[in-house]
Amino acid sequence: MQKLTTRLADGREILWFDEPGRAPRDPAALVDQRDMPPVEPASELRYDALLGEWVTIAAHRQNRTYKPPADQCPLCPSRDGRHTEVPAPDYDVVAFENRFPSFGSAPGAPPPAVTGDDPVAAAGRCEVVCFTSDHTTPFARLSPERVRLVLEVWAERTAELGARPGVRYVFPFENRGADIGVTLAHPHGQIYAYPYVPPFPQRMLAQVAAHREATGENLFDSLLTAERAGERVVAAGEHWTAFVPTAARWPVEVHLYPHRPTPDLPALDEAQRAEFGLIYLDVLRRLDALYDDELPYVAAWQQAPVREADGRFDARLHLRVHSIRRAPGKIKYLAGSEAGAGAFISDVLPEAAAARLRDLGPGAADGGVGRGGMPGGTSPEPGR
């Protein structure tokens, strides 16, 4: 992987990642021609004492770019006199500071300590990662070589961002599809470097710590062993297994775990990195075949916190992919139980979902064999 760092017109950092064998880029040819004021994020953290959770207030994001037409996409390359966030006529993978970040701090200034109940500056970092210069190629249709490059970028950014003062958790993710709420259709994801450990990993690590104290075993490892031997496996290789979890919250939900206990993306070995793209592309193509359409989803990496004190030792890297689409043209909305009480009620039997995805086969998305629905437990109550 080749890496080059330059600056955009407003001072934001942009990092260029190219596949091996490509001619090195000339920094002089990567100058952003736009006239832009410096980005000055004004986010703050406020603490919800009743739930024990931090909430980020980022009012400046109300003005972020919203669903531009394809010919005005800010993530496409700069061509034919139109200047975008990427000042080059083509690229492999780029990562850059978000123009409308949820977190941010003055360059070179250490983030403040996150303590107490009073609002504090939401120090951290938000980056956009563009997977390809082609506006119409989703992740599921990337080549294995490009997926490998994206994986290397995720690992490199996790290591670099995790080393920054004040960062406690690094979270790479991808949102795909208008139904999920994506406002820029170009294939891309984001990376958040949080100044705290978010609620989901915090809860998981608390459960893992309690299990360790009670049994002496790692709960992640025990769950993976059970799933690999069960009926919810969707796809598996020598180093990764993809399965529908026993208590899936979403109509479509698949988790990918490496077999070797691995804390985070930088800790992946060569064998794990080489196989990941093959397994992940297989899973994504099955998901797209489910309803003969590109499935809207969130794909989120869960990995170890930066600090040992936050439970890093027992954390296990894994990828969670879920979709809110429960049938062709139908969305699972968070209703009163989920949104009001935090108690999920699933309309789909996890074993049926796993069987359906297994039946589709690795080449299903290209063959158009989706049959528009999953067997068993797919008749939601009215209003859902």
Query: Which residue has better confidence, 283 or 380?
Result: 283
Q: What is the pTM of this model?
A: 0.91
Q: Tens of pLDDT along 334-383?
A: 989 999 999 999 989 999 999 999 999 765 544 433 444 554 443 333 23
pLDDT of res. 379? 32
Task: Give the architecture-level CATH label for domain 200-361.
Answer: 2-Layer Sandwich (3.30)
195-203 average pLDDT score:
95
Please tell me whether residue 317 adopts helix, strand or coil conformation: coil
% of the chain at pLDDT higher than 90: 75
pLDDT of res. 140? 96
Q: Which amino acid is at 101?
A: P
% of the chain at pLDDT higher than 70: 91
282-294 average pLDDT score:
96
Helices (H), the chain: 144-162, 199-215, 219-228, 270-290, 341, 350-360, 364-367
Domain ranges, ordered by start, for the chain:
2-26+40-196, 200-361
73-77 average pLDDT score:
96
- Tell whether the model's pLDDT for residue 112 goes beyond 60: no
To which residue do tokens 């001072």 refer? 11
278-300 average pLDDT score:
96
Q: Tens of pLDDT along 168-183?
A: 999 999 999 999 989 8
pLDDT of res. 105? 63
- Tell whether the model's pLDDT for residue 290 goes beyond 80: yes
Do 2-26+40-196 and 200-361 share a fold? yes
Query: What residues have CB less than 8 Å from 247, skipping those under 6 apart?
Result: 350
Report which DSSP code applies to 351.
H
Q: Which amino acid is at 350?
A: P
pLDDT of res. 118? 72
Can you read off the two tokens belonging to residue 211?
């299990």
CA distance 343 to 336: 9
Of 83, 135, 186, 188, which one is the catalytic site residue?
Answer: 188
Asked about 188 being catalytic, the answer comes back as yes
Q: Tens of pLDDT along 217-256?
A: 999 999 999 999 999 999 999 999 999 999 999 999 999 9
Gyration radius (Cα) of the chain, Å: 21
Please tell me whether residue 248 adopts helix, strand or coil conformation: coil
Task: Give the architecture-level CATH label for domain 2-26+40-196.
Answer: 2-Layer Sandwich (3.30)
Q: How confident is the model at residue 82 (pLDDT cuts 50, 70, 90)?
A: very high
Nearest one of 150, 154, 351, 142 to 244, comparing CA atoms: 351
pLDDT of res. 363? 54
pLDDT of res. 107? 47
